[in-house]
Amino acid sequence: MTGIGVVSSIGIGKEKFWTNLIAGKSGISIVELFDTTKYENHKGGEVKDFDPLNFIDKKKIKTLGRGSQFAIAAAKMALEDSKIDFKQLDKDGVAVIIGTTMADAQRIEEMDKDWVELSEKRVDARMVPQYPGSVLASNVGFELDIKGPNRAIPTACSAGNYSIGNAFDLIREGKIDYALAGGADPFSRIAFTGFNRLLAVAPEKCQPFDKNRKGMMVGEGAGILLLELLDNAVKRNANIYAEVLGYALSCDAHHMTAPSVEGIIRVMKKAIEHAGIKTDDVDYISAHGTGTPANDKAECGAVKEVFKDRYKEIPMSSIKSMLGHTMGAASAIEAIACCLAIKEGIVPPTINYETPDPECDIDCVPNKLRKKEVKIALNNSLAFGGNDACLVLGKVF
């Protein structure tokens, strides 16, 4: 991984994101994108300082939903960060793989509102091509004139890891040379309403692993990474953040929303095996850590089973405590956090931690960063429908 681009509620761009992440800054605020008066909860991880004109020509803005704008911005930042001569690349050898939950959901909401309240003739025709979930990847491809494989992966909260894993496979098999991979999701009424109806949203703050945790916070953002062959990165003297050692995907086949301890155990074990490492080699776990009672308990139970007596020795933090749950962008942004933890030797904290929970007695790096050499990190993502993914990242020596 040689390039990083991120849009988040705690910062746009690698530097601001990382500075605020390790400082434990919260990106949770009152939602302003739409009226939340009729909801019981009014906060979320909304990106407040994003200006698409910093990344996209003014004439194109109206044809792009917020999710696509995030994805394009993050992709351009990743390319700039990589310092690669992108104009000279064979664009057929570059893939765009973007994970998402809602894609450009806000534009879909606008279109449906006009259709219902006015008529189909009043629907802006420019919104129609923005309806399919594939638009995030295709819009990045259009903007950057990339002609290689173009895919959107809609596996919700684990979609970012799925996308990175797919890019890893394509590069390793020699089918492409480079990939822009990650995830993006905008804030939407659909997600906000859905999670509130599931009674899964905390009223004030997200408190992963805390005994008194009350739920997750809906967020938004994008995380895109540039992947290339290690030999190629070394040859061009690139700044290498981390190497993808392996990954695993699995389905719990258990329940649409409830997590399965056995499913999480299975995907972590498979990822460790695929990476060719041992449990003793793992220095840090980026937790899925939503802050819901069931999810945190299940993930901790799985970690205890996989790592046995070592489970308390491994730092395991949740950056969702700061960003909220960014849906399809979540595991991609968390992969970025893992890359920077490996590169900088700093583990980000889990903020808002107040009361220990005996059922979640892991080392959650409470409230303050920790300086620690991270040679190998696991990135857990556990989506609705039991779509689990675990990505293994390693330090390049």
> Look-up: residue for tokens 């583990």?
347
- Out of 206, 300, 325, 339, the active site residue is 325
Residue whose structure tokens are 């190998």 = 376
Q: What angle do CA 126, 127, 129 make, to 5 degrees?
A: 85
Assess whether 157 carries a catalytic annotation: yes
251 carries an active-site annotation? no
Closest CA relative to residue 241, chosen from 339, 148, 164, 152: 339
List 284's β-bridge partners, or say none.
Answer: 377
Q: Residue 389: which residues within 8 A CB-CB, separation 6 or more?
A: 155, 158, 161, 162, 165, 247, 248, 249, 250, 267, 331, 380, 381, 383
Select which of 157, 338, 339, 390 is catalytic.
157
The strand pair at 284-286 and 11-12 is best described as unpaired
Pair 343, 372: CB distance under 8 Å: no
Q: How far apart are CA 325 and CA 389, in angstroms?
A: 16
Catalytic, out of 206, 288, 300, 390? 288
Active-site positions read 157, 288, 325
